[in-house]
Structure formats: structure tokens, C-alpha cells
């Protein structure tokens, strides 16, 4: 079994999109012939998300986790990141990560370097390790866009220019760069004029996390799992459509129950509270332990997915969609019709798609789902064969194959 150095600032027990992606790769790589040696932090000066100490126990015994200290300077994270820290707030961890990575490469029979972003400091450290160990294949997991990320607002052109140089440094030193969607792949291929380097590695789900929850008697239950923020993940248009359906009498209050589970920023929180006060149909729970979250998700009739149609959003897939897929429950996808998320839903036959800004389209989709509910057509289905390629074990196998092929060159 070959050893693989995995650089990931975000890792278990942190519950965060990046830490979960790294964790899934690490958990299943040993089944494909690679033993991960994870280089991560001992304790971040702030949390990227919730903490779940039970995660570490789920790793195979062969996995090594090397934790390094984070410089105290990172405590200034409360100050505007892009003014002071490039590429991100964890840049102070770059040297400790590289130092520990070098130690592991010199000590063990390492067959490659793998680094997971965000934060982008992780893949920057991976690129620095590659510069010293040129014979080892390096794969950088970029996942979402870096410089072109629609969520990032640079304070000056200089800041963007510096980040652009850092991105170019990583791409130039990586043998392969993983992205989560075809849209992002095409954008990066065009930007760097390299078709071979950028590889689509979809987000994945871990089948061992799911429970066989039974739905309780009552109205049609729609659940949204995840954060709500900005214009990309806003419940505004969904709530507007639901308001008109209730006010017009097309839906009664006791016909439907909507639950939002997760973290909500100021504006989405206000919208949910106002709707709940007026109609009493919506309830919020805030963040929940994984077991409770899975219970709600698996016992729902419909799972709500929101990716608004704004510039750059067509390449978004979200971890949420991947977690929805294996439940076998119907997905109400308010996503761009020509985006990567809609392609996956059509390919797997797992949901109903409505334009995220078109109120009439959303209303029609809700009424159609409610009609199916009344006729008993919203029962959970076994769709494991349709979504198998998105399992964490399968994606880890694809990554291992990439390293094996690169190691032969």
C-alpha cells in the first residue's frame, strides 16, 4: 500500500464542506491501495463549522493524522480577510504545513501529494511541496472557483492580481486539478488553455451516514438542509410562491409543512420569521447534530434545493444535493435549468426542476408534488444503482486511479 500525503487545513472533527470532502476521500482511499497521511491543524483559533468528535473514530486504523500548530497571528481573523491575508486567513499555516509534509515524505514511502481547498492555503502548501519533490504526482482539489468565485469581493485590483498569481502558481505545479462540475472545468480549461489538467470530481455522499427513517402521518413535509445566505442561496422566491398558493387557497395551511435546518444569515432569517408569523407553515431548527439532521432528511417527502440563477451559479452543485440523492426522496430543485445541478438531477431522475426566480414555475412544481403526495406517489425509492457514481467510495477510487496513472509517467 502506497502512502499519500493529504494536506487539508479543514479536517475532522470540524464539520465544514471542505473538511467533509477531505474526510470522505481519506476514509475510502485505503480500499483503493493508498494510506492517507493527513497534515492538518491541531486546533484552529476559530471554528470553520461545528465540531463532531465522533468523526475520527470512523477513519480506518491505517490512516495517520498529523496535526500542526496554527500561528497566533491567525487570531486576527475578525479583521477583513482580503485586506490582510492572501489567499485567505490561514496563510500563516502555510510554512507549518509544508514543514510537516516534508517530514512525512522523507519518513514514509509516499506515492503522491493531495491537497484540498478551501482554504486555498492548503493547495498552496501542496504546490510548494511539489516544487521540492518533483518526482511525486500532485493533485490539487480546487473544488469551486478561486479568483472567479462570485462570493469573493476583492478590495482592490492589486488584491485580485496577487490571488491570481497564487492560483496560477498552484495550477502550474499541479499535475491535475480537481473541480466539482463541468462548468467550472470548462472555465478553467479556457482560462489556462489546458484541457487535460482539469478533471471533474463530483461532490459525494457517504452511504454509511444514512438511516432508514419512517415518515410520520401528516401533511406533505418539505425540508431544506444547509445554510441560507446572499443571493445565491435565498429562500425569497420559494417563500413568495408559497405565499401566493396559500393566499389563493390552492394550498391550505395544513396541507404542507416546511422545515429549514441549518445556519441562516440576517436577510434569510428575517424572511423565514416573517413568513412563519403570517402563515405558520414554516419552522426553523438552526444547526442540528448529524443524527438528527439525517432523521429529518430521510423522513421528509420532499427535499428542497436552492441555487439561484446569478452569474457563476451554473457550475454550483453543492454538498447538499449529493446528500439528498441517496435518500430516494423527491427533490424540489430551484436551480438554473442549464446548470450542472439540474444535469445531475435529470441524469439520476431524482427530482422536479423549477426556475429559481420564476414564481409561476415554482408554484406549478409545488402543486404537482402535492398532487403526487395525495396519490401516494412520493414514497422513498431505491435508487442506489442510479447514484452509485457519486458515492464517496467510488470517488476515492477514481482519485486513486489518477495517482496510479500519474505515478507511471
pLDDT in tens, 23-52: 999 999 999 999 999 999 987 655 555 677
Range of the domain at 398: 2-204+391-408
- pLDDT higher than threshold 90 for residue 53: no
Give per-residue pLDDT as tens, 131-143.
999 999 999 999 8
Helices (H), 119-231: 121-132, 157-173, 182-192
Are 82 and 221 within one domain? no
- In the chain, the number of structural domains is 2
Give per-residue pLDDT as tens, 278-311.
888 999 998 888 788 889 998 999 999 999 998 8
- pLDDT higher than threshold 80 for residue 315: yes
Three-state DSSP at 64 gives strand
Q: What is the mean pLDDT of residues 71-89?
A: 61
CB 239 within 8 A of CB 272: yes
- pLDDT higher than threshold 50 for residue 258: yes
Are 44 and 190 within one domain? yes
- pLDDT higher than threshold 50 for residue 78: no
Residue 55: predicted pLDDT? 84
- pLDDT higher than threshold 70 for residue 72: no
Residue 43: predicted pLDDT? 72
Are 200 and 323 within one domain? no
- pLDDT higher than threshold 50 for residue 76: no
Instruction: Look up the pTM and report it.
Output: 0.89
Are 193 and 234 within one domain? no
Grid coordinates given for 202 = 463530483
**Angstrom distance (rounded) from CA 232 to CA 342:** 15
Distant-in-sequence contacts of 273-282, Cβ < 8 A, 24+ apart? 275/239, 275/242, 275/243, 278/243, 279/242, 279/243, 279/246, 279/253, 280/253, 281/242, 281/246, 281/253, 281/256, 281/257, 282/239, 282/258
Give residue for cell 468565485. Answer: 149
Q: 164 falls in which pLDDT band (50, 70, 90)?
A: very high
Residue 366: predicted pLDDT? 97
CATH label of the domain that carries residue 7? 3.40.50.2000
**Angstrom distance (rounded) from CA 245 to CA 249:** 6
Are 220 and 198 within one domain? no
- pLDDT higher than threshold 80 for residue 94: yes
| Cβ-based burial of 186 (10 A; exposed 0-12, middle 13-18, buried ≥19) | middle
**Angstrom distance (rounded) from CA 91 to CA 122:** 9
Sign of the alpha-carbon dihedral angle for 126, 130, 136, 138: positive
Are 284 and 248 within one domain? yes
Q: What is the mean pLDDT of residues 368-376?
A: 95
Give per-residue pLDDT as tens, 183-215.
999 999 999 999 999 999 999 999 888 867 777
Residue 191: predicted pLDDT? 96
Residue 214: predicted pLDDT? 75
State the number of CA atoms in the 13 A half-sphere of 338 facing the CB: 3
Q: 79 falls in which pLDDT band (50, 70, 90)?
A: very low
Residue 300: predicted pLDDT? 94
Question: Any bridge partners for residue 198, and if so which?
Answer: 177
Give per-residue pLDDT as tens, 101-129.
999 999 999 999 999 999 999 999 999 99
Q: What is the mean pLDDT of residues 266-283?
A: 90
- Give whole-number Cα distances, 108 to 102, 132, 211, 230, 403, in Å: 10, 16, 39, 45, 17
CB 263 within 8 A of CB 227: yes
CB 2 within 8 A of CB 109: yes
Per-position b or e across 134-160, b if 16+ CB within 10 A of its CB: eebbbbbbbbbbbbbebebebeeeebb
Q: 82 falls in which pLDDT band (50, 70, 90)?
A: low
Q: 320 falls in which pLDDT band (50, 70, 90)?
A: very high
Are 44 and 146 within one domain? yes
Are 111 and 231 within one domain? no
Are 177 and 278 within one domain? no
Highest mean pLDDT among 85-89, 211-215, 294-298, 332-336: 332-336
Residue 75: predicted pLDDT? 43
% of the chain at pLDDT higher than 70: 95
Please report the DSSP string for 303-344 in residue order.
EEEE----TTGGG---HHHHHHGGG--EEEEES-TTSHHHHH
Give per-residue pLDDT as tens, 5-28.
999 999 988 877 778 899 999 999
Could you give the angle at which helices 182-192 and 340-348 cross, rounded to 10 degrees?
A: 140
Are 50 and 134 within one domain? yes
Sign of the alpha-carbon dihedral angle for 355, 360, 366, 370: negative
Grid coordinates given for 49 = 463549522
Q: In 10 A of CB 247, how many CB atoms?
A: 11
Q: What is the mean pLDDT of residues 396-406?
A: 97
Q: What is the mean pLDDT of residues 148-168?
A: 90
Three-state DSSP at 112 gives strand
Q: 80 falls in which pLDDT band (50, 70, 90)?
A: very low
- pLDDT higher than threshold 90 for residue 149: no
Average pLDDT score over the chain? 90
Residue with more model confidence, 289 or 331: 331
Are 230 and 117 within one domain? no
Are 402 and 324 within one domain? no
Q: 375 falls in which pLDDT band (50, 70, 90)?
A: very high
Amino acid at each position: 500500500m502506497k502512502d499519500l500525503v493529504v494536506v487539508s487545513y479543514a479536517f475532522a472533527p470540524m464539520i465544514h464542506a471542505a473538511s467533509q470532502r477531505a474526510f470522505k476521500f481519506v476514509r475510502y482511499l485505503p480500499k483503493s491501495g493508498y494510506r492517507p497521511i493527513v497534515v492538518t491543524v491541531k486546533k484552529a483559533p476559530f471554528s470553520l463549522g461545528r465540531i463532531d468528535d465522533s468523526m475520527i473514530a470512523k477513519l480506518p486504523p491505517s490512516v495517520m493524522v498529523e496535526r500542526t500548530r496554527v500561528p497566533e497571528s491567525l487570531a486576527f481573523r475578525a479583521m477583513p480577510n482580503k485586506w490582510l491575508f492572501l489567499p485567505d486567513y490561514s496563510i500563516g499555516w502555510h510554512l507549518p504545513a509544508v514543514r510537516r509534509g516534508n517530514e512525512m515524505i522523507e519518513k514514509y514511502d509516499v506515492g503522491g501529494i493531495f491537497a484540498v481547498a478551501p482554504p486555498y492555503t492548503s493547495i498552496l502548501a501542496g504546490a510548494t511541496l511539489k516544487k521540492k519533490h518533483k518526482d511525486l504526482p500532485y493533485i490539487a482539489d480546487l473544488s469551486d472557483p478561486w479568483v472567479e468565485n462570485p462570493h469573493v469581493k476583492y478590495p482592490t485590483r492589486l488584491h485580485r492580481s496577487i490571488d491570481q498569481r497564487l492560483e496560477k502558481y498552484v495550477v502550474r505545479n499541479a499535475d491535475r486539478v480537481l473541480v466539482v462540475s463541468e462548468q467550472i472545468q470548462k472555465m478553467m480549461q479556457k482560462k489556462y488553455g489546458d484541457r487535460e489538467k482539469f478533471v471533474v470530481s463530483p461532490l459525494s455522499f457517504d452511504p454509511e451516514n444514512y438511516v432508514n427513517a419512517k415518515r410520520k402521518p401528516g401533511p406533505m413535509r418539505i425540508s431544506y438542509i444547509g445554510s441560507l445566505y446572499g443571493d445565491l442561496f435565498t429562500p425569497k422566491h420559494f417563500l413568495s410562491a408559497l405565499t401566493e398558493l396559500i393566499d389563493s387557497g390552492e394550498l391550505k395551511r395544513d396541507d404542507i409543512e416546511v422545515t429549514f435546518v441549518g445556519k441562516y444569515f440576517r436577510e434569510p432569517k428575517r424572511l423565514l420569521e416573517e413568513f412563519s408569523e403570517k402563515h405558520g407553515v414554516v419552522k426553523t431548527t438552526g444547526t442540528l447534530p448529524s443524527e438528527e439532521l439525517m432523521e429529518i432528511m430521510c423522513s421528509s417527502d420532499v427535499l428542497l434545493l436552492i441555487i439561484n440563477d446569478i452569474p457563476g451559479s451554473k457550475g454550483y452543485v453543492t454538498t447538499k444535493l449529493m446528500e439528498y440523492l441517496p435518500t430516494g426522496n423527491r427533490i424540489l430543485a430551484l436551480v438554473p435549468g442549464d446548470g450542472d445541478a439540474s444535469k445531475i438531477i435529470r441524469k439520476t431522475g431524482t427530482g422536479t426542476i423549477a426556475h429559481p426566480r420564476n414564481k409561476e414555475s415554482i408554484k406549478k412544481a409545488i402543486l404537482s408534488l402535492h398532487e403526487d403526495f395525495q396519490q401516494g406517489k412520493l414514497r422513498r425509492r431505491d435508487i442506489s444503482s442510479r447514484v452509485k457514481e457519486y458515492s464517496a467510495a467510488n470517488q476515492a477510487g477514481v482519485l486513486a486511479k489518477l495517482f496510479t496513472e500519474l505515478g507511471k509517467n
